[in-house]
Structure 1
Amino acid sequence: MTRSVSGRIDGGLAAPTARSRDFTATAVRLARRLLPQRLATIVVLLLGVVGIAIGVVGPLVLGHATDLLFSGVIGRGLPAGITKEQAVAAARARGDGTFADLLSGMHVVPGQGVDFAAVGRTLALALTLYLLAALMGWIQARLLNVIIQRTMAALRADVEDKVHRLPLSYFDSRQRGEVLSRVTNDVDNVQTSLSMTISQLITSVLTVLAVLVVMLVLSPLLALITVLTVPLSLLATRTIARRSRDQFVAQWRNTGRLNAHVEETYSGFTVVKTFGHRAAAQERFRELNGDVYTASFGAQFLSGLVSPATTFIGNLSYVAVAVAGGLQVATGQITLGHIQAFIQYVRQFNQPLTQVAAMYNTLQSGMASAERVFDLLDTDEQTPDPPVTGPRRRGPGRVEFDHVDFAYRPGTPIIEDLSLVAEPGSTVAIVGPTGAGKTTLVNLLMRFYEVDGGHISIDGVDITAMTRHELRSSIGMVLQDTWLFGGTIYDNIAYGRPDATEAEVVEAASAAHVDRFVHSLPDGYQTRITDDGGNVSAGEKQLITIARAILAQPSLLILDEATSSVDTRTELLVQQATAELRRDRTSFLIAHRLSTIRDADLILVMEAGRIVERGTHDELLDRRGEYWSMVAR
């Protein structure tokens, strides 16, 4: 289970309930993120217009080739030496009115066969046009991919920056896997959705407009028949999309919950095995996985109905155009080549609509993920830092809490009217039962949380008047839960001060007794540590974190249960290391083992967010109060 800095276990918190979804608003907001690439976007649109215009001319050219072939076949069967008008009149005279109407609408020369040279030139022109259209499409797709990748890189950067500006309370109130799912899975899904849909969407819209214009020029009646099916397609798409949208939102919400469960189960795998909760964890996984399956199946099934529905409606227009077009050819209102071209235009008109419908599920899924990402970006941030007025000289390290009040949740105070002063260079130990507010004091001093009342100052300067970086760079922390990243031991120590020399790193390691065990490792300081530090012992991890704090050379020091997870021998080494670390520094010690705080200059005993006793070890024992009771247990 995940544990927050405040010490509260958050693994069981439910994911936030999804708010009402607005597909259009999200799509518009996502489109606005393309504005920095507006020049490249304009070029893409121009390439699309030119490419589609060339592609639209293709069927007309092919239709002209068909007319050349058909006219040649018909002309060869007519007597040579007469005109087309005479051939039409002769057909009417013998009572063949249908053939006369057909002949009147053709460009035919009686007695002349097929002009294969003209047909060859026409086909070569069509091939050239299609090659140019394909080239334009390739350049457009290539440039569009650059636009999308740059846009997504900027989105990832915004998400990363946002995460660092969020208050600790955001992470305390959510499962780690849920947050990771938004930052990784949802962002990746937005990229996949854009890559698969935006190019097709642009091409489809431009194609439909261009084809519609040409169809109106060729035959307004046939164009009207084709367009009449569009409202039916839109109605079918809208009806199905409305039902699938909620399923896509549920799909990604449930995916976040599943990821949170997997992450916390793997992180606490030893605990799960130790307490025999494997079956319970598997059952919870099956339950969450079932939720993902149900939502995903519903979303994909419903959205998958869009393409068959629009295809069926599009086929109705094919039938109508074929019947009406055949009648127009027979009556000479349109040539056979033109009706062939028109049927191709009907396909070009319906195909984009079908393709848009087919990719609608991808688009819906991407919008659902985009809404989750935008929810993260819209979350209230921590209060901004004050303007930097220049480097501030570090003082001796006097810390004062002045009538501080704080509550994680309104109405449930954790700290009430707390006041204390830590003199420069002194060691202040804080003891008390679990939940007394000890670690909360650390959170407030580090400005992980803001106080509700009163103020905290360092060397007379309110910490809210400092930037967080300035405040935290002057404080060194050694926590109960050690944190090591995947890297070498040397890198983990140098994390405390990246500009430190190798000699300084080794000196800090020696002071923290890390040098004692490093030389027993095959690769010494270059020994790689796994992400969770599993290949070194708990005590060794603690010593590494102390070495890191020593290297940072802070003016203030916080030791939060630094010896709670080590053996007695290592505890002595840790105490020696922390004693060296505390020298000439104002230090705060939080400990349950009272043996580690006997030499503290001031011991504070806390209960329910209040300081109930304060004094040295001997003074508190003489009072025979709460501290005495704790020692006597």
Structure 2
Amino acid sequence: MNSRTKKLLSYYKPHLGLLCADMVCALIVSLITLILPMCIRYITVQILQENTPNTLVQMYTIGAVMIGLIIVHTFCNMFISYKGHMMGAMMESDMRKELFDHLQKLSFRFYDEQKIGQLMTRTTNDILSLTELYHHGPEDIVISLLKFTGAFIILAYIDVKLTFIVFLFLPVMAVYAFYFNKKMNVALRRSKDRIGDINAQVEDSLSGIRVVKSFTNEEIEQQKFDYENNRFVDSRRDGYKSETYFYEGLIAFTQLITVAVIIFGGAAILNTSLELADLLTFFLCIGIIIEPIQRLVNFARLYQEGITGFDRFMEIMEIEPDIQDSPNAIELEQVRGKLEFVHASFKYIEEHQNVLTDVSLQIDVGEYVAIVGASGAGKSTLCSLIPRFYELNEGQILLDDRDIRDIRLRSLRKNIGIVQQDVYLFAGTVSDNIRYGKMDASKEEIVEAAKKANAHDFIMKLPDGYDTDIGQRGVKLSGGQKQRLSIARVFLKNPPILIFDEATSALDNESEKAVQNSLERLSDNRTTLVIAHRLSTVRNAQRIVVLNENGIDEQGTHEELIALNGTYANLYNMHLKS
């Protein structure tokens, strides 16, 4: 048994009690299905032919027994249908929870290479197909094997020759089923990939709907969608063709078995080697044999759909997070906030050139440092390395003289507050989004954080104040308002290290000035890194570090760098002219 099969079966473990009850019911259903034809045979062969004074009483007694068996059969089937499906749904839920938890552990590097729509498909559609497999899989196998074996024993007991004729069909059916089952598996995998592509395209187009409409490019997006949609239809065409050959072919085989029984059974009656009552029982048992074959056919379909989804699920689960806690990682206590880059180098893709090369930089406790430079110089990358969103290729980053790779990720990131240029707000209220910085914050703390971020006044003008729903990604707010909420979120977190990645770039001049004053107040006694787009916002920084493609180009105060008349002076003069 390989590792993936063990993993597939491991999800039964928390639900073994329910699985056992389901299997017991499946066993009872199978036995009753086999007993009922024997009851009919007993009536036709024994009771009716003897025709004694007790015949009617015997028939009523057998009839009552059969009704009782049918009631038990119905109850067990209802249990299998309801509880079995619930077991499958709970196992699906366990898998989805595990996958979501794993996705949150993967680094930014993973998400740089993935489409969100594809990941959504793996989290929903792929796992959904496993519900039916987990429920019907064991049940179909148990019922099919018991019914098939039991029916064959009964058939052989009635007429060995006729049973042998039926048996001759089975190897041919098995070869036929195996061939088209394999083709169906390939088609199903391709179909799941294509539906993931559709989801990715829809997610991309709808997320950028404002850009689409502003450029009147609805037709272009429709063409992109049509392309992915047509690819999906083509994949389903192959899948349905394989399914049609598979199912209809097996149905044809079962009908041929019935015809063979009629012809050869009729001949046996004419030769007086078989009784009519036995032929009737034989037919009933043939129906019992065909039903497990149909169940196995259905299981094959569920298995192919489920295992294809499971393979896609495992492709994600088997990706090891490239950034993890080291075995001896520690929890941070009493963080002072001293940061140091020691010969740090980094590149996003192994074959590409470095984004940062041999950077050595020390930032003292409580120091306010601005990082500036031309676009692509690595300013945002430098700051993304501190909370270990990405891992250095060479060198070290030290926090309070300790390598950040020796600190637990959760502990490290809890002590760092980040406001990024690309603001992300969650669907919900204003309070919900500010509270994200400290989930147990009181209403007073939320209001205070909003005031520090110069957000309180505009919040109070909203229809429901702090309880106003801001829509998906805060679409009901302006860019400046969204930015101030994200800043308030970090004010509430109140960490010892602050990183502002062009955090004021979306604000108007008045708001920028107010927030800048707040940032400077917040930076007292805290290590603060500010990536600046507008150089006027960093004039008061204690130190300005200028980056270029070769690393650190210059550093010093605003006045020192202007006097140096180098890269910073050129950038600043260009900014004044713009």
Say if 2:561 is the partner of 1:583.
Answer: no
1:124 is matched with which residue?
64
| Preserved contact between residue 65 and residue 123 of structure 1 (Cα < 8 Å) | no
Say if 2:136 is the partner of 1:158.
Answer: no
Aligned with 2:145 (options 201, 205, 213): 205
**Secondary structure at 2:124's aligned position in 1?**
helix
Alpha-carbon offset, residue 227 of structure 1: 1.9
Deviations 1:11-37 (A, max 9, x none): xxxxxxxxxxx9x98666423422333
Distance of 2:351 and 2:359 partners within structure 1: 17
2:394 is matched with which residue?
453
Q: Which residue identity lines up with residue 134 of structure 1 in the other structure?
A: T
| Preserved contact between residue 373 and residue 546 of structure 2 (Cα < 8 Å) | yes
Say if 2:351 is the partner of 1:373.
Answer: no
Q: 1:301 to 1:62 in 2, by over 3 A?
A: same
Alpha-carbon offset, residue 247 of structure 1: 1.3
Distance of 2:563 and 2:370 partners within structure 1: 18
Alpha-carbon offset, residue 392 of structure 1: 3.5
Per mean C-alpha deviation after superposition, the further-off stretch among 188-197 and 612-621 is 188-197
Aligned with 1:480 (options 398, 421, 435): 421
| Preserved contact between residue 27 and residue 367 of structure 1 (Cα < 8 Å) | no
**Secondary structure at 1:418's aligned position in 2?**
strand
Distance of 2:571 and 2:222 partners within structure 1: 42
Distance of 2:568 and 2:229 partners within structure 1: 50
Alpha-carbon offset, residue 609 of structure 1: 5.2
Q: 1:49 to 1:180 in 2, by over 3 A?
A: same
Distance of 2:137 and 2:400 partners within structure 1: 58
Distance of 1:51 and 1:354 partners within structure 2: 16
Say if 2:510 is the partner of 1:569.
Answer: yes
2:41 is matched with which residue?
63
Q: Which residue identity lines up with residue 207 of structure 2 in the other structure?
A: S
Distance of 1:56 and 1:620 partners within structure 2: 93
Q: 1:25 to 1:582 in 2, by over 3 A?
A: closer
| Preserved contact between residue 429 and residue 603 of structure 1 (Cα < 8 Å) | yes
2:107 is matched with which residue?
167
Per mean C-alpha deviation after superposition, the further-off stretch among 361-370 and 557-566 is 361-370
Aligned with 1:540 (options 481, 486, 501): 481
Distance of 1:36 and 1:393 partners within structure 2: 38
Distance of 1:208 and 1:166 partners within structure 2: 48
Q: Which residue identity lines up with residue 158 of structure 1 in the other structure?
A: E
Deviations 1:417-471 (A, max 9, x none): 1110111111111111222111111221010111111110111111111111111
Alpha-carbon offset, residue 196 of structure 1: 5.8
1:557 is matched with which residue?
498
Q: Which residue identity lines up with residue 252 of structure 2 in the other structure?
A: F
| Preserved contact between residue 424 and residue 473 of structure 2 (Cα < 8 Å) | yes
Query: Aligned Cα RMSD in Å?
Result: 2.3
Q: Which residue identity lines up with residue 462 of structure 2 in the other structure?
A: L
The 5 A counterparts of 1:332-481 are 332-358=272-298, 360-386=300-326, 392-412=332-352, 413-481=354-422
Distance of 1:491 and 1:232 partners within structure 2: 64
Q: Which residue identity lines up with residue 35 of structure 1 in the other structure?
A: K
| Preserved contact between residue 494 and residue 551 of structure 1 (Cα < 8 Å) | yes
Distance of 2:382 and 2:289 partners within structure 1: 67
Q: 1:484 to 1:310 in 2, by over 3 A?
A: same
Unaligned runs of 5+ in 1: 1-21, 72-107
Distance of 2:537 and 2:31 partners within structure 1: 81
| Preserved contact between residue 345 and residue 393 of structure 2 (Cα < 8 Å) | yes
Distance of 1:49 and 1:28 partners within structure 2: 25
Per mean C-alpha deviation after superposition, the further-off stretch among 146-155 and 261-270 is 146-155
TM-score, normalised on structure 1? Answer: 0.86
| Preserved contact between residue 314 and residue 350 of structure 1 (Cα < 8 Å) | yes
**Secondary structure at 2:530's aligned position in 1?**
strand
**Secondary structure at 1:587's aligned position in 2?**
strand
| Preserved contact between residue 141 and residue 199 of structure 1 (Cα < 8 Å) | no
Alpha-carbon offset, residue 302 of structure 1: 1.4
Alpha-carbon offset, residue 41 of structure 1: 2.3
Alpha-carbon offset, residue 318 of structure 1: 1.3
2:538 is matched with which residue?
597
| Preserved contact between residue 544 and residue 557 of structure 2 (Cα < 8 Å) | yes
Distance of 1:575 and 1:227 partners within structure 2: 85
2:159 is matched with which residue?
219
Distance of 2:299 and 2:216 partners within structure 1: 46
Aligned with 2:18 (options 40, 44, 58): 40
Per mean C-alpha deviation after superposition, the further-off stretch among 378-387 and 504-513 is 378-387
| Preserved contact between residue 67 and residue 335 of structure 1 (Cα < 8 Å) | no
1:179 is matched with which residue?
119
Q: 1:527 to 1:233 in 2, by over 3 A?
A: same
**Secondary structure at 1:420's aligned position in 2?**
strand
Unaligned runs of 5+ in 2: none
| Preserved contact between residue 329 and residue 406 of structure 2 (Cα < 8 Å) | no
Aligned with 2:430 (options 480, 489, 494): 489
1:4 is matched with which residue?
none
Distance of 2:132 and 2:509 partners within structure 1: 54
Per mean C-alpha deviation after superposition, the further-off stretch among 35-44 and 519-528 is 35-44
**Secondary structure at 1:529's aligned position in 2?**
coil
**Secondary structure at 2:231's aligned position in 1?**
helix
1:324 is matched with which residue?
264
Q: 1:566 to 1:192 in 2, by over 3 A?
A: farther
Distance of 2:145 and 2:507 partners within structure 1: 67
Q: 1:212 to 1:32 in 2, by over 3 A?
A: farther
Q: Which residue identity lines up with residue 517 of structure 2 in the other structure?
A: Q
| Preserved contact between residue 91 and residue 131 of structure 2 (Cα < 8 Å) | no
| Preserved contact between residue 62 and residue 126 of structure 1 (Cα < 8 Å) | no
TM-score, normalised on structure 2? Answer: 0.93
Distance of 1:130 and 1:209 partners within structure 2: 21
Aligned with 2:250 (options 310, 327, 331): 310
Q: Which residue identity lines up with residue 303 of structure 2 in the other structure?
A: L
1:500 is matched with which residue?
441
Say if 2:42 is the partner of 1:53.
Answer: no
Q: Which residue identity lines up with residue 539 of structure 1 in the other structure?
A: G
The count of corresponding residues between Structure 1 and Structure 2 is 573
**Secondary structure at 1:566's aligned position in 2?**
coil
